[in-house]
Amino acid sequence: AILFGTPKGSARIRSLRLDLARVGSQGYLIRTLTVDGHRATVIAGNTDIGVLYGAFRFLRLMQTRRPISRLDIASRPKIRFRVLDFWDNLDGTVERGYAGSSIWKWGELPQYLSPRYTELARACASIGINGVVLNNVNASPYILTPLYLEKVAALAGVLRPYGIRVYLSV
């Protein structure tokens, strides 16, 4: 069995009385325990984001064929801001970009939210990225207009459930 959650959101996790203080707000524990007489893998954190990071770590262990029968992992990020910086321009080009156009389709936002945004959020969360800068450091001031801030807010709404904050270069 696999049990996952936070003490605040799960009575079962709370009843295990795990020492979660040492993992902070974005860390997690992955432990093999006996729960009600049955062997279980427990993935717990103080926040849903910590649990998400723990779940991705557990999946990575399975995908790399690591032993998972006796786990005792405690992880806490050592760096508070783990940010991916896009050098994307509002016209869809990428400054110093060597791999095509921007992922951000500013002309379609906020009405259409590409599934690629959620895929990006999952990929970032899977390696612990907790922030993205949406635009080029040589920023266009238009990013601060109400029209573009509405678009930024729509992107933030997609990324936030994965623990990712949105930043702008200005």
Q: What is the pTM of this model?
A: 0.90
Task: Look at strands 131-133 and 165-167 and give their pairing.
Answer: parallel
Of 75, 104, 119, at which residue does a domain stop?
A: 75
Q: Are residues 39 and 105 in the same domain?
A: no
Q: Are residues 64 and 107 in the same domain?
A: no
Q: Are residues 120 and 91 in the same domain?
A: yes
Q: Are residues 101 and 157 in the same domain?
A: yes
Q: Are residues 100 and 144 in the same domain?
A: yes
Q: Are residues 35 and 111 in the same domain?
A: no
Q: Are residues 88 and 144 in the same domain?
A: yes
Q: Is the pLDDT of residue 97 over 80?
A: no
- CA 101 to chain CA mean position, Å: 23
Of 35, 51, 75, at which residue does a domain stop?
A: 75
Of 75, 95, 116, at which residue does a domain stop?
A: 75
The string of DSSP letters for 62-92 reads: HHTT---SS-EEEE--S-S--EEE--B-TTS
Structural domains in the chain (count) = 2
Q: Are residues 59 and 98 in the same domain?
A: no
- 7-65 tens-digit pLDDT: 999 999 999 999 999 999 999 999 999 999 999 999 999 999 999 999 999 999 999 99
Strand arrangement of the beta sheet that strand 38-44 belongs to: 2-5, 38-44, 28-35, 72-75
Mean pLDDT of the residues in the chain: 95
Structure confidence at residue 138 (pLDDT): 83
Q: Are residues 113 and 163 in the same domain?
A: yes
Cα gap 49→9, rounded to integer Å: 13
Structure confidence at residue 95 (pLDDT): 83
Q: Are residues 107 and 145 in the same domain?
A: yes
| CATH code of the domain in which 54 resides | 3.30.379.10
Q: Are residues 67 and 125 in the same domain?
A: no
Q: Are residues 43 and 70 in the same domain?
A: yes
Task: Kindly state the tokens that stand for 20.
Answer: 């979660």
Task: Look at strands 38-44 and 2-5 and give their pairing.
Answer: parallel
Domain that holds residue 119: 83-167
Contacts of the segment 92-100: beta carbons below 8 A, 24+ positions apart: 95/136, 95/137, 95/138
Of 162, 166, 139, which is closest to residue 151 (Cα–Cα)?
166
107 strand-pairing partners? none
The string of DSSP letters for 1-58 reads: -EEEE-TTT-HHHHHT----GGGTTT-EEEEEEEETTEEEEEEE-SSHHHHHHHHHHH
